[in-house]
């Protein structure tokens, strides 16, 4: 590493939420898959969006069976795999981004199988050394938290767990007891993908979770526009945009950069 950041890991994520809260808004964390459409262009996209003023990143590591993801992300991750993008390539990409000066928190998002094949302890150690701040594993239930929890605690990395509208009180308690950094709140039952409207029940849903935990809540699945960002500005602690940015990228680099900038502007109005 050639760049030393003042804060890393969970401390960097806490500072991110504190800054957003002080500005009376939610934090914006875009998703990008390393290796799509190729390694260099994925880094270019992340650098460009970082310059637009986003708060953090969900860094996608491609997997052949991304069960939580919709067709847009599935297609992108398949191309990334065909380009030879491995876990190691993704870690190297984060290190490169840090060397280029990007300081926003980065959470590695990937499925359990390739991470376990790489070695859980080894992955967490290498992720920390590369400059990552946390880990998001969609198919890791809190019952299996021990697979990564000790390593993340040792390295100071966040370990994020998911809650959905169908989560009962027992699941909420289990997820919030194990999560560090934030809870990934799934906005709807289903897979990722851009939607025209966010669910009408979001306010009650978020209030239900807030009553049970003080862990920051970051909403994902279906968020696709500046209008959605305005709607979430004072509802959640953060939100993730994925498929909409990939679709914008498919229309052209300038469209992707413009969408990110418009969302950044919407939460700061």
Q: Which residues belong to the active site?
A: 58, 69
In 3-state terms, what secondary structure has residue 28?
strand
Strand pairing class (158-163; 217-220): unpaired
Residues in CB range of 261: below 8 A, 6 or more apart: 52, 53
CB–CB of 224/195 below 8 Å?
yes
The three-state secondary structure class of 173 is helix
Residue 253: its H or E element: helix 253-266
Q: Where are the alpha helices (DSSP H) in 2-70?
A: 9-22, 39-52
10 Å Cβ neighbour count for 211? 8
Strands (E), the chain: 27-33, 57-60, 106-109, 134-136, 158-163, 183-186, 217-220, 238-241
Q: Which tokens in the block code for residue 223?
A: 């968020």
Determine the Cα–Cα distance for residues 229 and 123; give it in Å rounded to an integer.
33
């Amino acid at each position: 590493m050639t760049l030393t950041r003042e804060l890393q890991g969970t401390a960097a994520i806490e500072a991110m939420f504190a800054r957003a809260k002080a500005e009376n808004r939610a934090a914006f964390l875009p998703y990008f898959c390393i290796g799509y459409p190729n390694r260099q262009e994925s880094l270019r996209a992340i650098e460009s969006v970082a310059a637009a003023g986003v708060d953090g990143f969900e860094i996608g590591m491609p997997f052949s069976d991304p069960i939580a993801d919709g067709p847009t992300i599935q297609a992108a991750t398949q191309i990334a795999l065909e380009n030879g993008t491995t876990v190691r390539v993704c870690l190297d990409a984060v290190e490169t981004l840090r060397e280029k000066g990007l300081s926003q928190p980065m959470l590695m998002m990937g499925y359990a199988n390739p991470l376990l094949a790489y070695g859980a302890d080894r992955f967490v150690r290498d992720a920390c050394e590369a400059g990552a701040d946390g880990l998001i594993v969609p198919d890791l239930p809190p019952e299996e938290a021990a697979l990564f929890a000790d390593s993340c605690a040792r390295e100071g990395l966040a370990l994020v767990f998911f809650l959905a509208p169908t989560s009962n009180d027992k699941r909420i308690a289990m997820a919030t007891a194990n999560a560090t950094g934030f809870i990934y709140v799934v906005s709807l039952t289903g897979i990722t993908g851009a939607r025209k409207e966010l669910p009408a029940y979001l306010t009650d849903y978020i209030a239900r979770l807030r009553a049970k935990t003080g862990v920051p809540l970051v909403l994902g699945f279906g968020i696709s526009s500046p209008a959605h960002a305005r709607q979430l500005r004072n509802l959640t602690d953060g939100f993730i945009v994925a498929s909409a940015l990939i679709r914008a990228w498919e229309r052209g680099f300038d469209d992707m950069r413009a969408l990110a900038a418009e969302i950044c502007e919407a939460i700061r109005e």
